[in-house]
Amino acid sequence: MLNRSATKRNAMLDAGIAELAEHGLAGASMESIATRAEVSKRTLYKHFPSKEAVLEAVLTLLVERVEPLSKLHYDRERDFVEQLRAIGVLEMQLISDPDFIRFSRVLMVECMRSEAQSRRLTRQLGEKENSLYQWFQEAGEAGKLGTLDSRVAANIFVAVLKSNTYWLSVIAWQPAPKKREQTRLVNEACLTLVSRLQHAG
C-alpha cells in the first residue's frame, strides 16, 4: 500500500504526463502541472525540481515497463515457435498497457519536437529493441530463419503485432485490444512469420 507521499507523487506524475502529452516539454509548465495535481508549486518542486525532471521520471517508468523484453536470448533446447509466441505475449502485454501507451505519447511528442531529444530517448530505450534483434540473430545462427535476414524477420513479427494495436492506441486514441484479441494477434504474428520462413526456404 502506498503511503501518502508516494500517492501524492504519483498524482503529480500523472498530471505531468497529461501536461506533457498535451503540450510537450516546451509548452508545459510547472504551474499547470501543479494545478492539474491539485498541489502547491512548492510541493511539486519538492518532488520534481523541473519539468525536465518530470520527463526523466516518465522515461524511467517506460524503461521499467520494457525490462522483461531487454534480456532475450534464443534457447536452442526449446521449440522456435514456442519461444516466438512467448515473446509475442510479452510484447503484446507491453503495447496494450494503458500506462505504456500514455508514456509513449509523451515521448513521441518530444521525439517529434527535437532531433537531439529523439536520439537521446531512442538511445536510452534501445536496449529492448537490441535484445529483440539479438534473439532473432541467435535464432538465425541456429538455422531457424532459413535465408531470411534476422532484422527483416524481427521487423515482420513486430509490425504485425503493432499495426493493429499500438499505433491505433497511441495515435488514434483507440482502446487497447481485449485479451482474446491480443491472443489472436500474437498467433497471427507467429503464423505470418512462419509462413514467410517457409517461403524463404
Per the prediction, the chain carries an average pLDDT of 89
Q: What is the pTM for the complete model shown?
A: 0.82
| Average confidence (pLDDT) over 114-136 | 83
pLDDT band at 42 (very low <50, low <70, confident <90, very high): very high
The C-alpha atoms of residue 43 and residue 15 are separated, in whole angstroms, by 13
Where do we find the cell 533446447? 77
Q: For 179-196, how does the pLDDT look when each residue is reduced to its tens digit (9 = 90+)?
A: 999 999 999 999 999 999
Closest CA to 177 of 67, 104, 95: 95
| Among the listed residues 154, 150, 162, the one whose alpha carbon sits nearest the alpha carbon of residue 129 | 154
Domains of the chain: residue spans and CATH: 1-49 (1.10.10.60), 61-200 (1.10.357.10)
What was the pLDDT predicted at 120? 78
The 10 Å Cβ neighbour count of residue 133 is 17
